[in-house]
A = this chain, B = another copy of it.
Amino acid sequence: MRVAFLGLGIMGSRMAANLRDAGHELVVWNRTRSRADAFGGAVAATPAEAAAGAEVVVTMVVDGPQVESVLLGDGGAAHGAAEGTLVVDMSTIGPTAARAIGAALGERGLRFVDAPVTGSSPKAEAGTLTIMAGGAAEDVDRARPLFEAMGETIVHAGELGHGQMVKLLNNAVAVANAIALGQALLAGRATGVDLDALVAVMGAGSAGSAMLDLKAGPMRSHDYATLFKTEHMLKDVRLCLEETQAAGVPFPAAADAREILSAAVGRGHGADDFAAVIEVLEGLAGARL
């Protein structure tokens, strides 16, 4: 397919490379032009230029305002795309922003799918991301060959915005599990048990989790080398709670997580990995791991 790929950051450059390797015809654009030149192939001067002649426009940028700017701003893709072009945003922007952008694109005769991803840069490089798509079934089906070149687990989460919502729920559960883990490690330390034994037992059984595998070590060594920033996790959990509150459903584990994440950001850990929630839990416990 002819694809305009907008945003060649750490994730986007790897995802675009997998599309190219799968035989798709790419025109790329990036805010910092040098990254696009380094990527090679056809480079457009503006998103509008990239979108001219494309069947699908893919965006992979930082947040909702950037997606809006790249699609709807001056020189935005909407100004170059032919009627009926499918726009697929793979950034994490929240359901409300996704619905608003979808409505604006719809007024211009363009189709829109929100398709955020989970998985870090190694999975982006390997083409094994998890991709959760929201939008009309026929639009998601059109994008599927592209998703299959970039991802391993690909799901249709529901209507427009629901890809975003699934991602927010996923992240809220992840951080809730991380917080329970951190509290248990501190409880283990305080009661005197061997923490290696505790971690081994949890990993072998009912307390096992991705967070145990990924965060128990960093929490114990206070190593917050960033995989996922605390401030980004806080943003996601806040967006999640806005949606659940609007839906009238309580989500106490996420609300607790928001408070802990917020305290971690307030103590200067915003740019650290969210394993830094252990700093707040240690403060509460009055002890260090």
Contact = CB atoms under 8 A, between A and B. Distances in A.
A266 interface: no
A132 B205 CA distance: 12
Contacts of A172: 180, 184, 187
A228 B207 CA distance: 14
Contacts of A95: 191
A256 B118 CA distance: 29
A157 B256 contact: no
Contacts of A228: 206
A152 B205 CA distance: 11
A254 B170 contact: no
Interface stretch (A35-43, A85-93, A193-201): A193-201
A249 B190 contact: yes
Contacts of A173: 180-181, 184, 202, 207
Contacts of A207: 169-171, 173-174, 177, 210
A250 B166 CA distance: 31
Report which residue of A132, A152, A167 has the largest number of chain B beta carbons within 10 angstroms of its beta carbon: A132
Interface residues of A, number: 70
Contacts of A192: 158-159, 162, 165, 247
Contacts of A247: 187, 190-192
A157 B193 contact: yes
Contacts of A200: 153, 155
Interface in A235-289: 240, 243-244, 247-254, 256, 284-287
A230 B244 CA distance: 28
A160 to B, nearest CB: 11
Interface string A101-142: 000000000000000001100000000001010000000000
B201 A206 contact: no
A75 interface: no
A100 interface: no
Contact of A204 (B152, B181, B189, B193): B152
